[in-house]
Amino acid sequence: MNETAAPPDAAEAPVERRDVPVEKLLPSLEAVLFSSPRPVREKDLGDLLEATTKSVARALEALAEKTDQSERGVRLEKVAGGWRFVTRPEFDALLRKFHEVTERSRLSLAALETLAIIAYRQPITLPEIQDIRGVNSSSVLKTLFEKKLITTAGKKPVVGTPFFYRTTQDFLVRFGLNDLAELPRPEDLDADLAATVEAREIAPLTAQETAIHISSEEALDEEPGPEAEPPGAED
């Protein structure tokens, strides 16, 4: 799903791209990202500002560092193949109070279980999900659908041609992943039986460890995965 805010005709006309110095690029990048609710891809920023991807990436790193270092309420995050501004977690209570929000919608245990199966095994069909969970999962699937965390991905060419399901861009954003390769792996999912039994003894990731995982986004990112490519980009 193309949820990154791309300029309408970005893909049509090839833009003249120049190397732009960081200090010149940074304020305009900040303005664009400030105005966008969804992650904006580096390529789209480059198209918009007529700058090379390299200089955009440099400026973004500088901006991220700047917002990360100082005592700021907002930070830049790289997620779902793009960049966006989000508030820092410590201001959650404050923002809730200001916006008079009590609780945000939580995902049930069953929903998270199903989502995990889809995330790791995609594309996957409903019967396959139910085989793993040992329980009817169609209503859970509907919930995930309504939350736009999963979508269909064609049909499996078997009897009954069931739908294939996969995770969406919204899934990546919600769980702070740049692409699917970043899915947390508490253990190797394809490990053999013995190794898995041993792995059982290790406690699951604590919230703190997870936090470390999330904030370790400064690592240089490669090309966005196929998941991040907007449809029709090749056209």
Partner 1 sequence: MPDETTQSSLPPVAIAAFSGPLDLLLHLIRINEVSITDIPISEITEQYTAYLDAMRELDLDVASEYVAMAAELIYIKSKMLLPRVPGAPEEDPRADLAQRLLEYEKFKRSAETLHAIDTLRGGLWPRPETEIPRAEGSEQTLEVALFDLIQTFRTVTENYRLAHPPALAIHHLRFSVRDKMLELLARLDEKRTMPLLEFLGQMRYRAEAVTAFLACLELIRLGVVRAFQTRPFAEIHATRTDVVFSADQIRDTYSE
Interacting residues toward partner 1 by CB under 8 A: 1-2, 8, 34-38, 77, 84-92, 95, 104, 106-107, 109-110, 112-113, 115-117, 119-120, 132-136, 145, 151-152, 174-176, 184, 186-187, 189, 193, 196-197, 200, 204-207, 210-211, 213-214, 230-231
State in angstroms the smallest separation of the CB of 226 from partner 1: 15
- Of the pair 23, 106, the CB lying nearest partner 1 is at 106
- Of the pair 181, 193, the CB lying nearest partner 1 is at 193
Question: Position of tokens 């900040």?
Answer: 30
- Of the pair 52, 151, the CB lying nearest partner 1 is at 151
State in angstroms the smallest separation of the CB of 81 from partner 1: 15
Half-sphere exposure of 67 (CA within 13 A, CB side): 24
State in angstroms the smallest separation of the CB of 213 from partner 1: 8
State in angstroms the smallest separation of the CB of 26 from partner 1: 19
**122-131 per-residue burial string, b: 16 or more CB within 10 A, e: under 16:** bbbbbebbbe
What ranges make up the beta strands (E) of 60-134? 74-79, 82-87, 124-125
Question: Position of tokens 């969406």?
Answer: 168
State whether residue 85 is helix, strand or coil. Answer: strand
Could you count the other beta carbons within 10 Å of the beta carbon of residue 84? 19
